[in-house]
Amino acid sequence: MTAVKKDISPHKIYLELFLIFFKIGSITFGGGYVMLPYIYRELVIRRKWFTNSEIVDIFTVSQSIPGAIAVNAAFNTGFRRSGVLGGIVATCGVVLPAFLAITLILYVFINLRDNVWAQKFLAGVITASAALILLTAIDLAKSVFSKSFIIRVTISLIVFVTVGIFDLNAMWLIFAGMIFGVLYHIFIKRDVNQLEKSEGDRSEK
């Protein structure tokens, strides 16, 4: 968890969280996953609140629990930054733009539904959003695959095939990954660490 500097006022932190996620919610089109690149660039690259591995953990937990991934990611980010209230503030910030936009669109949707320019606008936004998601996936993959490369690539390929080709529910794979991760760290990782420790002791002697 990223610690908050003591000389920063809590009110300033809450305001900053709200404004960050309000901005992200205001400029994002195309669904919850499209927000992830903006969250990554805003909090990891620009503000350096989290490392790549920390933001991967946040995105993984947000995907694993019920609810919209964008809302879950906002709450998890705010919670890690400034506790429960920080999570609530970040969630309100990311939800409010969508609420206001939907309220406005309800009045003009009929006129925009068949508008050619509106359709072209959305097509361009979706294309740009897909590129942002791809770039973020590449950046995060570098962090994820930096350790235990063969095992993690194998798991990724299995998930890709089962979900992309055989259309298996991703939730089952998430549960399977959780179980595998626990078993791996209990049995395999422990033995590897002990082996490395024993080899280190021998080299010192």
Question: pLDDT (tens digit, 9 = 90+) per residue, 1-10?
Answer: 454 444 567 7
Q: What is the pLDDT of residues 115-133, one digit of tens each?
A: 777 677 767 777 777 777 7
CB 72 within 8 A of CB 36: no
Burial (CB count <10 Å: 0-12, 13-18, 19+), residue 205: exposed
- Quick one: CA dihedral 184, 189, 190, 195, positive or negative? positive
- Number of C-beta neighbours around residue 63 at 10 A: 16
- pTM assigned to the model: 0.58
d(CA 38, CA 172): 28
Question: Which comes out higher in pLDDT, residue 116 or 48?
Answer: 48
pLDDT at 88 over 90: yes
Output b/e per residue, 26-55; b: 16+ Cβ within 10 A. eebebebbbbbbbbbbbbbeeeebbebebb
d(CA 146, CA 77) in angstroms, rounded, equals 23
Query: Is 64's pLDDT higher than 70?
Result: yes
- pLDDT single digits (tens) 141-195: 776 666 666 777 777 788 778 877 877 777 777 777 778 777 777 766 555 555 5
| Other Cβ atoms within 10 Å of 128 Cβ, number | 13
CA 78: distance to chain centroid? Answer: 13
User: H helices of the chain, where?
Assistant: 10-27, 32-40, 52-64, 69-112, 116-144, 149-164, 170-183, 189-204
